[in-house]
Amino acid sequence: MNSQSSLIFALGRLLNWLEINAPAIAQSLQPGLTREQIETQLQALPFRPPEEVYQFYQWRNGSSIEVTVEGKSHQTSIELLPIHRLLSLEEAIDEYTTFCEIYSDRADSNHYLPLLADSANYYLAKGDNRSTTATIFSSNVYSDEFCFEFDSLADFIQAIAECFETGAYYLELNDTWFNWNNAKEKQIWLKYQPHHAVNVDRLLQNQIQDLSEQELQRACFDLAISQHPQALPFFVQKHKEAQAEYEHLRAISEVNQTELTLSEKLEAIESPPQIPSLKFRPLDSIRRIDSIEAIRYLFDLFKSSDLQGQQKIIRQLNQNIGDRDVVYEAGQQDLEMIDRLRQMLQQFPGNQDMETLLQRLENKLV
């Protein structure tokens, strides 16, 4: 199946799910444009996008639904992806103008066309009419990095459709708004992102020498969010290595302040003065793993930390509590952990982070 056929199949698959399970959203999708209408609107751009973009807007041209806020009705576009609005071609061209202004220092910014957006994030189709497929990137207005996501628009829509079909995306708020399960979404997306899946495998095998810093950080994020069975052991090991490296650096600092000869100092400082394991951001990665085991590990660190460290770990623990539809089966040690946190809260009255943590933990432990 070629890319164009794959996209048509994926769009049909998506529409079928919406018509059955979210008819209000399906009905809000605006009729597709003719090729001539698309060409007319695209005259506002300095390039012509790949064929997949034409097919996308021939299928449907964004969405429009009436909503009432504070007693006033107005039209708005709906989400095709949680927190990302499906843009009509007219909206996409307007967003493109804003996008080029934000990224005016990037020479290639004028070849990215926004397809989905929220107030700060975009999913973009990159390419021109020399290619039939549109490479998909994500971007955030607060960062100058563009993240490569999918080889084609067809792969992107296939991933979205499968997320709906499997419950990774689910309806809320009068069947017009989607919530999502992070782990399920990430597992599905990696099926359609072979480049990212390969980097996760390289990470687990410690074969990271060919990864850029951006690729390494993305692989760490994907490994943690996907709830891979090896994620927690991997990042716990990296955290322990970072602790050992930190202790080595502290020892070096002490050595430098002693009355040693030059040769003795060189022997003591045979390792480079850095903490290489921190490049894996182990604690930040552990807090992304939505499991009771990850919370236990962070709580054990909490018990052995000073006040400043405890406050940081409370924030990590708080961020660790992820999807609302994921619950933990509580053991005795988990109930004891709740009691210990409750006792500590009495020592820090008004600590909003800890109050929130206790409430969220109690809601997830069954």
Return the percentage of the chain with pLDDT > 70, whole number.
83
Give 45's pLDDT tier (boundaries 50, 70, 90).
very high
- Rounded to two decimals, the pTM is 0.85
Could you tell me the sign of the dihedral formed by the alpha carbons of 141, 143, 147, 149, in that order?
negative
CA separation, residue 318 to residues 136, 182, 295, 332, 356 (Å): 32, 16, 9, 21, 7
- In eight-state DSSP terms, residue 365 is B
**Residues 269-320 pLDDT 10s:** 444 445 566 788 888 899 889 888 888 888 888 888 877 777 778 777 777 6
**Residues 155-182 pLDDT 10s:** 999 999 999 999 999 887 666 678 889 9
